[in-house]
Structure 1
Amino acid sequence: MEEPLKEYEEKKLNSFHIKTMLIAGAGQIVDGYDLTAAALVTTSLMAYFGSSLLTLSTYLFASIISGNIVGALIFGYLAKHGRKRFYGVDAALMTLGALLQAFVSSPSQLVFLRFLLGLGIGADYVLSPLVAAEYSNRKDRGKMLGISGGVMWNLGALVSAVVTLTLGYFLPSDILWRAVLALGSVPAISVIIARRRYPETPHYLLFIKRDLKELGERYNVRTFLENVKRVSGISLSVLLLAALSWYLYDIGAYSGVFFGPSVIAQKLGINGVLFELIILAAFSVPWNFVSAMTNDRLGRRKLQAIGFVGMGLTTLLFAFLLGKVSAIVTLLVYGISSIFNSLGPGTIVGFWGVELFPAEIRGVTQGITVLGGRLGVLTTTFLFPILLADFGIFATMITLGVIAIGAAGVSMMLPEPARVSLSKIEVSGLSALREVKAQSEEATK
């Protein structure tokens, strides 16, 4: 049996799939909200704690990203003991970490709570795409992963800009940052119970738990366990490429997230919160949605590579134009870079760890690709302020542009999983992807 779950994976997109996208996306909203909000209230926090930008970036970002790494690796391993068992624990950790930031009185307390928040987000980076992929049908898996991932992340970032801008009119600086950071708990709170009530995924029931009775009762799927032959071994080179693409992406992407409102907006003479609001609403979110709706048809690899090339070229152009043309033109170029970001890796880079590997190790492989991305964020956290201080914004932008173009080459080395069923990959490995590619090429002749 080449596709043991074909009966399930060929179902049309339905209300269960849509509900899954929304519940899975809540964690990404928290991450997008919090990291953007932290950047937006940087000035208030610097005044409150009397810290430099480099020191404060360590408080805000290194702590939460370290938590991401630990959470992704721990829960990536635990996922083999049940998706449902831990789906909701991640949201509870995010709730505690975000909410208690309202009450901190010292940098050490802030570091601890952001590590706790990061722990939950790291767990969610593994669990949400994992369950979204395993609940999805074959033809719409890219839509489900894209909407619950990149679209929701930037929606969270957009909400943080709106909240910060609105509350800034009513609250003093020392209260504003507490309220803004604590409100990141709202989307996490809203889905804790819903996640705990979700059924176990069909892929886990068949390929790991081997519970045909529950599989039939929950999903009305009939299959025969003795006919399921699972692939042995994985491609470490593919896993390395997937992690490397996320590492290279996060170096460039989070430079903008962390320092765009405080450094780039200042260079353009624009209020940092307004800058972020314009970029997200006009450029990022709409193109995240375009990517989510087209990557099943156009392919993950192609869109990610195009996105990286576009990011690289527009970042290089931005470096040469900054300070030489009007702020509107420069902002437009930066916005076009954000379009390519959202069209390509900003939506797709988190797919590879769950789509290219079998169910039993899918949590671990996703955890390793998340690790790659988080190491990229840590690189940015420490390297970006140093590059800015020692070499200036021009050299920094040139560096980021070259990295993005190099990442396009890495992307083209990855296999294409679009419209290939996860159960086919389960029993045939990456050869299933090559077989589908060959059939597609033959059909176009």
Structure 2
Amino acid sequence: MSFEQFDSPKLKRFQRKVTLLSAAGTFLDGFDLTVIAVAMPLILSQWGFGPGVQAMITSSAVIGSLIGALWLGNLTDKFGRKAMYVVDLLAFVVFAALTAFAQAPWQLILFRFLLGIGIGADYPISATLVSEFSPTKERGKYSTSLGAMWFVGAVFAYIVGILLLPLGDNAWRYMLLVGAVFALIVFFFRVTLPESPRWLASRGREKEAEEIMLKITGEKVVIPPSTKPKQKLAVVFSKTFFRRTFFVCGFWFCYAVAYYGISMYTPSILKPFTNGSQLLVYLGSGTVSVLGLLGSIIGLNLVERIGRRPLIITSFTGLSIALIILALNPAPSLQFLVILFSLAVLFANMGGGILNFVYPTELFPTEIRASASGLATGISRIGSIMGILVFPNLVASWGNSKALWFFAVISLLGLIISAILAPETKGKNLEELNADIPVNANNNENTVGV
């Protein structure tokens, strides 16, 4: 089902609306996953727990997102894009608010875990919906904008931290509550979006799909009954899809290990070099996040120009070089750390950090698109958890410099996987990319395949 044959201001406004509301979700993902790192120094000073509890609080939302991606991604293919698209925002509202009122570390861990389920679900749901509503020539740009907004959310978390820091001991509670307020606003707008016509057609509900196409394009569209065989998630491990599955899971896993291992502990890494200034910690960490955002914007503007494959290879190459230089310096200065961490996340986010919203939705057919994207997200969450839990233990055993070698090796592995397996999907519609699935066509009217 392609939107190329339609060119109306009404359709373009609708496509921008879908992208904006989906990007609002990834903005909240970035904010909620980053704000805990911003708030952690204040929580530590108030509650005084050890590194084990700190790791559990930091990783609980990521662990929850693993479950959310696998579970709700699969339900999205079963029950529709819209239902899950709205439900996961409710999790944001409720559990982000509850984290702000936690009275003990175990409560914070529990509520962050439940919040994480909503966060994990939003990755495959939003990415799938945007890919299914986007025109081929702009699909990469629309999809990568989701990744870019994740980093806008991360930067915003540091801005919120700086602005609320003067509120004193309970400033961290207000930081966490901000996410709930934004989620509530997004929720009311998401309710107004229709179901994906591609999903409806894949379920044999062609008339409903035609009605939605008429509503959003202003033109009558005839959608023939789907002749595609029904697919189950297990097909991603078949000979047909295994190469694609290994690629999307592999590169996203490697990116997640490196990025989360660095970003979740940037404030903690920089703190010993700031003479006890919490503001300087936030400014240094915020600078790293801003450069990460810049990287995603660069990638967003290059994805339809140079293509996906050159972009992801360049991304992992730059990330690997930056991490190796960091690992080679056993006695860095604050300026050195900020500059090299900034370059690392800039390169990471110009490819791996935004193409994780593109490749998983392009390389699998409609029937399993959200499930496959959810699987890739779930595997990436394992990488995120590994980065978050492994890094502090490596630092304790080896020191910062030697610990960074672990992430350099993982980044090099991502480079190898991308160089060997990354396909070029630029300029192809979703049906062309999955041509092994039969598609009917009818040239008598405006007719679109599923």
The verdict on a shared fold, with TM-score over 0.5 as the criterion, is: yes
Bigger Cα displacement from structure 2, 265-274 vs 298-307: 265-274
Tell me which of 213, 217, 233 is aligned to 2:214.
217
Give the Å deviation of 1:192.
0.9
Question: Within 5 A, what are the aligned runs for 1:375-394?
Answer: 375-394=382-401
Tell me which of 328, 337, 340 is aligned to 1:320.
328
CA distance in 1, matches of 2:431, 2:168: 55
Provide the residue aligned with 1:442 in structure 2: none
Give the Å deviation of 1:224.
4.5
The alpha-carbon distance between structure 1 residues 165 and 420, as it changes in their structure 2 partners (threshold 3 A), is: same
Question: Within 5 A, what are the aligned runs for 1:50-65?
Answer: 50-61=48-59, 63-65=60-62
Tell me which of 251, 268, 277 is aligned to 2:257.
251
CA distance in 1, matches of 2:19, 2:271: 33
In the alignment, structure 1 residue 70 sits paired with structure 2 residue 76: no
Give the Å deviation of 1:267.
4.0
Question: Within 5 A, what are the aligned runs for 1:183-198?
Answer: 183-198=178-193
In the alignment, structure 1 residue 242 sits paired with structure 2 residue 240: no
The alpha-carbon distance between structure 1 residues 416 and 408, as it changes in their structure 2 partners (threshold 3 A), is: same
Query: What do residues 327-359 of structure 1 show as CA deviations (whole Å, max 9, x unaligned)?
Result: 334422222222211211111123222110000
The alpha-carbon distance between structure 1 residues 216 and 328, as it changes in their structure 2 partners (threshold 3 A), is: closer
**Contact 2:253/2:380, CA 8 A, preserved across alignment:** yes
**Contact 2:285/2:338, CA 8 A, preserved across alignment:** no
CA distance in 2, matches of 1:360, 1:280: 36
Provide the residue aligned with 1:203 in structure 2: 198
In the alignment, structure 1 residue 349 sits paired with structure 2 residue 391: no
TM-score, normalised relative to structure 1: 0.88
Tell me which of 335, 347, 356 is aligned to 1:340.
347
The alpha-carbon distance between structure 1 residues 226 and 107, as it changes in their structure 2 partners (threshold 3 A), is: closer
Provide the residue aligned with 2:381 in structure 1: 374
**Contact 2:73/2:370, CA 8 A, preserved across alignment:** yes
Q: Give the SS at the match of 2:191.
A: helix
Tell me which of 32, 39, 44 is aligned to 2:37.
39
TM-score, normalised relative to structure 2: 0.87
Q: Give the SS at the match of 1:396.
A: helix
Give the Å deviation of 1:416.
2.0
Question: Within 5 A, what are the aligned runs for 1:43-442?
Answer: 43-61=41-59, 63-80=60-77, 81-148=79-146, 150-169=147-166, 171-173=167-169, 175-212=170-207, 213-218=210-215, 219=217, 220=219, 222-226=221-225, 229=228, 234-267=240-273, 271-281=280-290, 283-321=291-329, 323-324=331-332, 326-412=333-419, 413-428=421-436
Give the unaligned 5+ runs of structure 1. 431-445
Query: What do residues 364-414 of structure 1 show as CA deviations (whole Å, max 9, x unaligned)?
Result: 101100011100011112211110000111111122112112201111313
**Contact 2:132/2:198, CA 8 A, preserved across alignment:** yes
Give the Å deviation of 1:231.
9.2
CA distance in 2, matches of 1:375, 1:231: 29
Provide the residue aligned with 1:22 in structure 2: 20
Bigger Cα displacement from structure 2, 379-388 vs 411-420: 411-420
The alpha-carbon distance between structure 1 residues 113 and 227, as it changes in their structure 2 partners (threshold 3 A), is: closer
Provide the residue aligned with 1:435 in structure 2: none
**Contact 1:73/1:368, CA 8 A, preserved across alignment:** yes
CA distance in 1, matches of 2:62, 2:337: 30
CA distance in 2, matches of 1:130, 1:216: 17
The alpha-carbon distance between structure 1 residues 350 and 217, as it changes in their structure 2 partners (threshold 3 A), is: closer
Give the Å deviation of 1:360.
0.6
Give the unaligned 5+ runs of structure 2. 439-450
Provide the residue aligned with 2:441 in structure 1: none
**Contact 1:97/1:114, CA 8 A, preserved across alignment:** yes
**Contact 1:248/1:403, CA 8 A, preserved across alignment:** yes
CA distance in 2, matches of 1:23, 1:202: 18
Q: Give the SS at the match of 1:225.
A: coil
The alpha-carbon distance between structure 1 residues 98 and 56, as it changes in their structure 2 partners (threshold 3 A), is: same
The alpha-carbon distance between structure 1 residues 41 and 322, as it changes in their structure 2 partners (threshold 3 A), is: farther
Q: Which amino acid aligns with 2:40?
A: T
The alpha-carbon distance between structure 1 residues 50 and 295, as it changes in their structure 2 partners (threshold 3 A), is: same
**Contact 2:74/2:370, CA 8 A, preserved across alignment:** yes
| Matched-pair identity in % | 27
**Contact 1:17/1:135, CA 8 A, preserved across alignment:** yes
CA distance in 1, matches of 2:162, 2:410: 33
Give the Å deviation of 1:221.
5.3
CA distance in 2, matches of 1:322, 1:157: 28
CA distance in 2, matches of 1:265, 1:104: 26
CA distance in 1, matches of 2:434, 2:7: 16
**Contact 1:33/1:159, CA 8 A, preserved across alignment:** yes
Query: What do residues 45-84 of structure 1 show as CA deviations (whole Å, max 9, x unaligned)?
Result: 12222212332121232x2122111111121111122111
**Contact 2:328/2:401, CA 8 A, preserved across alignment:** yes
**Contact 2:202/2:226, CA 8 A, preserved across alignment:** no
**Contact 1:242/1:353, CA 8 A, preserved across alignment:** yes
The alpha-carbon distance between structure 1 residues 108 and 329, as it changes in their structure 2 partners (threshold 3 A), is: closer
CA distance in 1, matches of 2:213, 2:261: 48
CA distance in 1, matches of 2:346, 2:370: 30
